[in-house]
Amino acid sequence: MLCERCGKEEATVPVIKIVGGEFTVMHLCDKCAEEATGEGKKEMESFFPSFPDLFSKIFSDFPSFHTEFFAPFKEKIKPPEIEEIKCPRCGLSYSDFKKTFQLGCSQCYETFKEQLEPMLRRIHGSIIHKGKVPSKVPVKVKIPKDEIKEMKKKLQEAVKKEEYEEAAHLRDEIRATEAKQKKRGGG
């Protein structure tokens, strides 16, 4: 097979990409693959900008694996009191979470929602579950309309501030949430 990029050399490397949820494979020659890799890196960088300086100040005592996930929401890092927030149910504090990268109980997802959502988005590219629903969850459980309202408000703010990447995320989430409600007969 010939390289799908230059069409001259033999394709030796599969370059796999997921763009907007679409999975594509390009068969490239060595040279094109290398170039594509460079491009890929640039794309990733602009997509997930890193803020090493600010970040290192905030989480200087942190192992690198964790820092990677905490990095993107450094802008949202609130004054020191964030560290002190404790889950009312299990007592885990935000600083406990940062040490182990493990939450304490299911309630923690509510308690640390503000911090967790940007992190989940950073890790998974989404914060809305699309998969299996346990049969015990009532079919008509609704996502409170307030939440969609809140998301729409955030969307407007993001557009105002010209944060288009964030806006695009929010738009997708609103759509996914609305679609989910429709599917479940809620809304």
3 state SS of 22: strand
39, 63 contact by CB (below 8 A): no
HEC states along 34-97? HHHHHHHHHHHHHHCCCCHHHHHHHCCCCCHHHHHHHHHHHHHCCCCHHHHCECCCCCCEHHHH
Contact window for another protein (CB under 8 A) among 19-27, 45-53, 55-63, 154-162: 19-27
- End-to-end Cα distance, the chain: 51
Contact window for another protein (CB under 8 A) among 54-62, 78-86, 112-120, 159-167: 112-120
How far apart are alpha carbons 41 and 127 in whole angstroms? 24
Q: Give me the least distance between CB of 156 and another protein, in Å please.
A: 21
Tell me which residue has tokens 């494979």: 25
Report 157-176 residues binding another protein (CB under 8 A).
Answer: 176
Q: Which of 123, 145, 150, 183 binds another protein (CB under 8 A)?
A: 123
Report 125-164 residues binding another protein (CB under 8 A).
Answer: 125-137, 141, 143, 147
Nearer to another protein, 37 or 56 (CB): 37
Q: Give me the least distance between CB of 187 and another protein, in Å please.
A: 13
Where on the chain is the footprint of another protein (CB under 8 A)? 12-18, 21, 23, 25, 30, 33, 37, 40, 44, 69, 90, 92, 100-106, 109, 116, 119-120, 123-137, 141, 143, 147, 176-177
